[in-house]
Each structure stands twice: as structure tokens, then as C-alpha cells.
Amino acid sequence: MRPAAGDWLDSLRRFSAEHRLSRPQRPEPVPAETGAGHRTGITNSAPALATQAAILAAHAADWGLPTLTKLAATFPDGAIVVTTSPPGLAAWNDLISRLPTPLAQRVATATEIEYRGWCMRSPDESHRLHAVVWSWIKAPLPPQRRPDFAPFPIADSADYWVLRYGHSGGGEGEQSGDLFAWDGAVARLLATGITERFRSRG
């Protein structure tokens, strides 16, 4: 890894650590409005977060490891950033800790907010210094997005979740998504490899 890439990555690690320390703790999760005005309970409840963590852990092992290995070969001099949802940080950090040391030293994890915040401070839009891998869950999708997934009907009281994943840098990139239905207890896989049409934010 080039010294400039290593410096950029170390600075991101410090930025992420400071962000997590300064971020105020929310005393209670906030119920999320979903569907046609129903509530599925608390979107960031313990069961929901545990389910998201399990999905992200499986995805890190099945998709993340081959992706990191490929990027390490095609982008040998650059840093690699993995962005994920907070429930996925532990799984990704565990996977990285088991990589060969030369590769593990080139990889850092961050949430999407941390990564975007750091890129505003230290831009690398051309990906000269780093490649980015993302695997995070948008949960729940807002009500205005539900018509986009009409081919995969769910109960009005359920939520759509999307696992968004892809990578960019090293001269290549790709992105995709997996669609889940969350009923407050179980996340059911509806479709893999979907392409989202972003007609509105969210």
C-alpha cells in the first residue's frame, strides 16, 4: 500500500473512532411509521438489529471475502474501506481480523455516515487512494418506495428491507441489492440481485 493511501486510511480510522465516541446515545429506540400508516413495532428493536447483524455477517462471509480478495489483487497499492450498517461492524471487523496481515492492514470499516463525512474532509473522488466496498441495510424503506416492489407483495403491517452492496475503485465497480420482508419477528428473503430505481430519496 502506498504511503499516501495508508495515511488516508489511518486518518479515516481516527475520524470514525472520534465520531462514535462523540455520538450521543439514544435512550430508547423510536418507532417507525411504515406501510399504509401501520407500525411493525420498533425498527431498531433488539430483534431487528440482531436479524440485521445476522444478515450482514452471512453476507460478509459469502460475498465480502471474495470481493476483498479480488480488490486486493486488482488494486494492490490502495486502501480498502468497507462501509456497513452499525449492526454489521462487528461481523466485518471479525472477518478482517482473520485475513492475512498484509491485506488486513489495508482494510478499515466505517458506517456510511462516517465514510461520507471523512470524504468531505479528505476527498478522493477518483479513487486514487482507496476503493470502497459497501454492504448495509436500509431498514425500513419509506412508504413512498413500496410501489417499486409491487411484484413482491407483503402485508401492509410489514416492512421492506434492502441489503445494498457493491464496490467501486480499482478500475471497476458494481452494485446490487437483496430485498427482504420484515414482519417484526422474521426477515424473509424476497429477491436477490435487484436493481433499484431511485425516484426519490431513501
Is the residue at 200 inside a domain? no
Confidence (pLDDT) at 170: 76
Its domain, for residue 139, covers 3-194
The answer to whether 71 and 169 are in contact (CB under 8 A) is yes
Confidence (pLDDT) at 15: 95
CA distance 74 to 172: 9
Distances (CA, A) of 180 to 49, 188, 191: 14, 5, 7
Hey, what's the cell of 104? 488486513
Is the residue at 116 inside a domain? yes
Is the residue at 201 inside a domain? no
Cite the beta strand spans of 17-150 per DSSP E.
Answer: 33-34, 38-39, 79-84, 107-110, 130-138
Is the residue at 134 inside a domain? yes
Contacts of 37 (CB under 8 A, 6+ apart): none
Is the residue at 131 inside a domain? yes
**Number of alpha helices (DSSP H) and beta strands (DSSP E) in the chain:** 6, 8
Is the residue at 56 inside a domain? yes
Confidence (pLDDT) at 66: 94
Q: How many domains does the chain have?
A: 1
160 three-state secondary structure = strand
Q: Say if residue 29's pLDDT is above 50.
A: no
In the numeric block, the cell 461492524 is attached to 89
Instruction: Report, in angstroms and rounded to the nearest whole number, the Rg of the chain calculated over CA atoms.
Output: 18
Is the residue at 110 inside a domain? yes
pLDDT in tens, 32-91: 444 443 444 456 688 999 999 999 999 999 999 999 999 999 999 999 999 999 999 999
Give the pLDDT band of residue 24 (cuts 50, 70, 90): low
pLDDT in tens, 113-160: 999 999 999 999 999 999 999 999 999 988 888 999 999 999 999 999
C-beta atoms surrounding 50 within 10 Å: 11
Is the residue at 202 inside a domain? no
